[in-house]
Structure formats: C-alpha cells, structure tokens
Amino acid sequence: MRLSTNQTYRLVLDGLRTNYDRMVRSAEQAATGRRINRPSDDPTGAALTLGFERRLADIERSIGAARDGRAVVDGAAGVLEEVSGLMSEVRALVVQGMNGTLDPQARAALGDQVALLREQLVTLANSRQGNRYLFAGSETGARPFEQGADGRILYRGDSVQQEVRVGSGVSIPINIAGNQLFSADQGQGVELSGLTGIALGLTANEGTGVETITVRHDATDLSGIAASGIVSAGGGADDTFVGAANLVVDVTAGTIQLGDGPVVQIPDPVDANYSNYVVRNAAGAELHLDFTAWNGADVAGPVAGSASISLDGIAFTSIDFSETDLRLENPATGAIVHVDTQAVTRAGEELVHFGGDVTVFDVLDSIAGDLANAANLDSSDIVKRLGMGLGELDRHQNNVLAGLGVLGSRSARLADAAARLESLDVQVSAQLSTVRDADLSEAVLDLQRNEQILQLSQAAGTRLLQTSLLNFLQ
C-alpha cells in the first residue's frame, strides 16, 4: 500500500509527539525526583502512594499531638514543682510558728508571710500555657480558681481528663484537674494513687494522713518461654512486672510485646542493651530480658512475676492475685487497709490518702489566722491548731507530689510514643519513596536517551518529508 503525503506527515508528527512526550516525562521525573507524578504514570503505584501518604499524615498528626501534649504535661509539672516548693516553705513557717518561745509579734509576722504565699498559690493554681489554663479540666478557657462571696477560693473547672491520640486506639491523658490537686475531697474514704493496680477491698479502712503500700517484686518466671533461650537480665533484680502475661516476639514484624503493653522493636545484637532489654506492660511495669542466647525464632508464651505486699514496709505477705479483701496493717500508725490484689500488675509504692475535705487555700487561711491569733488563744492551743493545719498541708502536698509522679510518667510515655512514631515515620517514608520516587541517575539517562531519540526522529522526519512527488519530478 502506497502512503500518501498527508499520511506521511501524520506518521512523522505522531512519532515526534510520542518521542517528545517520553522526553517530557523523563525531564519531569528528573526535575521532581518522582517516578509517579499522576495516576496514569502507574495506577497501582499511585494507589499505594495514596495509602502511604495517608498513613504518613496520621503519623505526623500523632507526632504533633504527642509533642504538644508533652509540652502541656511538662508545663503543668513545672508549676507543680513550684507549688511543692511553696508548700514546703509554708510548712517551714508553720514549724517555726509552733515554737512555744515565740512572742505574738513574731508569730503575726509569720502569718503575714503565709498570707502572701497563699496569694501566690492562687496565682500558680491559675497558671496558663498560652491561652490554656493548666488545671481547669476541660474548661481551659476560664480561670479555674476564683474567690467567692465569702472570700474563699472556689474551683470553677471540671474533672474531665483530656487525652491526646498517639496511635490507633492509643490515647494518653495530659492533664490533672485542679480540684484533685488543691481541693481534693478525701473525707469520705481512702484514695489510691493507682500505680500498681491495687484496688480497695470490701471492708472499711482505718487510718489518717498518708500511708504507703509497698508492692515488692520477688521473682520472675520465664519457664513458659525457656525453649527460646531468652532469660531474665540480672536474674530479674530490676523487674517491676508482676502477675501473668504473654510475651510475643514476632520475628517477621521485628517486634516484641508484653501483654497489652506497647509494641517495641527487637534489639540488634550489636546494641548495648541486647543483654538487658526492657519491655513494658500496659501499666508501665518493666521486664528486663537477656537476648544473648536467643535462638532467633518466634516466641509466644506466658511469663510471670511473683510479688509480696506490705503496709509498714517490714512484714510482707505474698500476693496470690485472687484475694479481694486482703488485710494490711501498719502497727506503728494503727492504719488498717483492705485491698483487692486481683489486678496488680506492677511493683512499686502505692500512696494511700486518708482523709479531709479542706482545700489547701482554706488550710493556708486557717494557718495565717492562727499565727495572727486574732482570738487571743493560749500558746498551747495555737500549737495544737497549727498541728492540725500541718497535717492537712501535708495531705495536699502529698497530692501534689503524686500528681507530679503521674505527670512525669505521662511525659515519659509521650516521649516514648513520639520517638516510636518518628521511627515509624522514617519506615513508612522509605516505603513511600520505594514506590513513588525515581532513581535520579536512571531518570537523567532516560532523559538523555529520549532527547537523542527525539533529535534523530526530527532529522529523519525532515528528510522523509522532503521526499515527495514534486521532489521526484524536479
């Protein structure tokens, strides 16, 4: 079949357009560094790219939330450190005021100092970070502590616990409401700090002030995973994990998980912590593992930690994790506490607060008034009343210290979450790059090759277009 001149023109133009498009795509890949710039470049790869980008966006949002949440937690912890120092200063003034040799004028001067510290405490309780009140619960836009008509400081916030999302189904609280720190109502029972998983038992408790329940880790049992070669680091001396849980080592995923705890990466044999690697359960209890003799296979088996418990730190009772009303006694203070040990998962010291319901601001008001002695009380009566105020002050300071401990652990959890998410971000970014990004050296070579092909096509087309019937007749 003979081609007409018009068909020849069309074929030359189609060839030039095809070669030009190839050169443009190569130039675009070299300029953008991406192999896929539009879905038509690679429909399957484009779909994978969208999935990776969505996952990266979620990870980056979680990283931002963890960082912002940690800033709030650390800001609140810094304020509570100042509050604790202020309470210590008040305590020193109270002890000084209980000196029976002080004259009324000296006591009144101490009372003036306490009154000034009380105003400073109100300011600290209303601390802000940016436009956010730190101790207002969820009512972060309004001052949580205001003076009422009777002159007393009242809490205007709520008790809602705010959380930040740091992963799929994983949230970490970032605040402690001010009424739990400065006006805790503890007159109706006993409050536990919640560190170890201990709960209150069925029988009523007796005591005053603050007690400490010690949960002591006694031994670690890894017989359920003995075939793996993984053993306790240091014989379990540093473990705080108690109770029972499954330990899962997934070689394919490269992860380790203790019970419902956070998923962590398997350590590298060259890492310094390979012989003392820490995994944690959901409560933050630690299990120290030695991977030196690990056979490298998957692991899925039970591990257990035995423990004992004491209220006085001297007489310890073994925990069988089934007792719902275990009686603990501190002969030195006469305190008796009944506890439920079914959910104990972590060793440590559990704070027990017995009760009053007087706010710390009222305590300082009372102390200032006692030191001023407007009622002309005898020195012995003043000392007795100051002693009562001192007990309430200690109660509130213990609450502040417990709050500091909670915020400290939350800050550590947020830092760990941010570090884990940043590592995951790197991994997903690498996967995205593998699918979406171009090999720059290959893209440049393709550009040069396509440019040469285009030039040859142009030259060949020019010669072909000159060969026509008119040229032949000439």
One domain, residues 178 and 225:
no
Residues 137, 180: Cα–Cα separation, whole Å? 10
89/39 same-domain check: yes
Angle (CA) 109 112 118, round 5° = 145
361 and 345 co-located in one domain: no
Please say if the pLDDT value at position 188 is more than 60.
Answer: no
**β-pairing, 231-232 with 286-290?**
antiparallel
DSSP 240-257: -B-EEEEEEEETTTTEEE
Contact 112, 367 (CB under 8 A): no
Give the per-residue pLDDT at 453: 60
At residue 38, what is the residue type? R
* Percent of the chain scoring above 90 in pLDDT: 39
pLDDT at 420: 87
Same domain, 67 and 178: yes
- The string of pLDDT tens digits covering residues 352-386 is 766 565 678 878 888 888 898 875 666 766 776 67
β-strand partners of 303: 245
**pLDDT recorded at residue 66:** 86
Which domain range does residue 266 map to? 189-355
Residue 9 has a pLDDT of 55
How distant, in Å, are the alpha carbons of 341, 353, 371 from that of 192? 13, 7, 33
Whether residues 273 and 149 fall in one domain: no
- Mean pLDDT computed over 243-270: 93
User: Which residues have C-beta within 8 Å of that of residue 160, sequence separation ≥ 6?
Assistant: 137, 138, 177
CATH code, domain carrying 180:
1.20.1330.10
Is the same domain home to 200 and 309? Answer: yes
The number of angstroms, rounded, from the C-alpha of 166 to the middle of its chain's C-alpha atoms is 8
Answer positive or negative: Cα dihedral of 263, 192, 94, 357: positive
Q: What is the DSSP string of 145-166?
A: EEE-TTS-EEE-S--PPPEEEE
Instruction: Give yes or no: residues 212 and 303 share one domain.
Output: yes
Exposure class string for 330-343: b at 16+ Cβ within 10 A, else e: beebebbbbbbbee
Structural domain count of the chain: 2
Residues 372 and 351 in one domain: no
158, 137 Cβ separation under 8 angstroms = yes
- Specify if 474 maps to a domain: no
What dihedral angle (degrees, nearest 10) is formed by the CA atoms of 88, 94, 96, 102? Answer: 160
pLDDT band at 16 (very low <50, low <70, confident <90, very high): low
* In-domain check, residue 150: yes
What pLDDT score was predicted for residue 253? Answer: 93
Q: Is residue 20 part of a domain?
A: no
